[in-house]
Amino acid sequence: MSDLMTSLLPQPGWITFGLGLSLCVLLGIYAYFRKVLDLKASILASLIGFIIIIFADFFWFLLILLFLGISYIVTIWKYSVKDSNGHSQGNVGERGVKNVLSNGAVPLMIVLTSGLLDDISEGLAGFLFMVSIAIATSDTFASEIGIMAKNPRMITDPKKVVEPGIDGAVSLLGNVAAFVGALLIGVTGYFLVTDRLTAIGPHGLEAGIAVLIATIVMGWLGCQFDSYLGATLQRKGLITNNMVNFITIMSGALVSVPIYFILT
């Protein structure tokens, strides 16, 4: 039992603990005053970031911080147009607790169980972490940039032209944006999460082109699955948009487990 607890609970030094806590608090304050997140979401995001630093390290934290930063950039991109069309986030683009949970819960669970996952196979946790964030980023890019596309079509009926912003609507612009989002996380994660820069701590995932490609592809495919759920279950009122995000990221992580073993 003690061995199990040792594998589950991190043993951070005081420097890591202090720097991690200070950094997350400061970033939370910055996110709130810059209207990236509302107050409750800023507190929650700070807590998630601190847990990632303690259970993983600063490199893993930087990847999810990148997701938050670039997601905000694409959210406020042409915000006035989105707001006039009723497709804006919050009052000035800020996101709330539900959005933070729907996108951050799965990466957080992966980090919390990273010890057990890496006991199964070294590097499994890192791969799932990269994929989960790639899916979240790909979907955010597709939604916030694709909303500007003209004449999008339903993913379940490519011949049907629909209004921008309709659940399940897809477009060339949105899909290119989805790929770019997954690419940004894949390339950055290749350096921050794998053993490319360091093999110390949670960096047991061997850097390789197959891992990079798989992360990008899974991120993009996850976005397509998100659109499919939006066109079916969400349009029927069975689940909300935040539930769609969570289910998509969780499904992508689960599907990525056998893919990881095929790659390795």
- In our burial notation (b when 16+ CB lie closer than 10 A, e otherwise), range 41-51 reads bbbbbbbbbbb
Count the Cβ atoms, other than its own, within 10 Å of residue 227.
Answer: 28
Residue 4 has a pLDDT of: 43
Residue 210 has a pLDDT of: 97
Contact 182, 63 (CB under 8 A): no
Cα 206 to the chain's mean position, in Å? 21
Residue 87 has a pLDDT of: 57
- DSSP letters for the chain: -HHHHHHHS----HHHHHHHHHHHHHHHHHHHHTTSB-HHHHHHHHHHHHHHHHHS-HHHHHHHHHHHHHHHHHHHTTHHHHHHTT---TTTS-B-HHHHHHHHHHHHHHHHTHHHHHHHSTTHHHHHHHHHHHHHHHHHHHHHHHTT-SS-EETTEEEEE--TT-TTEE-HHHHHHHHHHHHHHHHHHHHHTSTTT--STT--SPP-HHHHHHHHHHHHHHHHHHHHHIIIIITTTSS-HHHHHHHHHHHHHHHHHHHHHHH-
Residue 1 has a pLDDT of: 39
Q: Residue 160: phi, psi to the nearest 5?
A: -90, 115
* Tokens linked to 199: 């093999």
| Nearest of 139, 142, 129 to residue 253 by alpha carbon | 129
Instruction: Say how many Å lie between the first and final Cα of the chain, rounded.
Output: 30
Residue 70 has a pLDDT of: 95
* Global pTM exceeds 0.85: yes
What stretches in the chain show pLDDT beneath 50? 1-8
Residue 10 has a pLDDT of: 57
Name residues whose C-beta falls within 8 Å of residue 7's C-beta, 6 or more positions apart in sequence: 115, 116, 119
Domain boundaries, the chain: 58-263
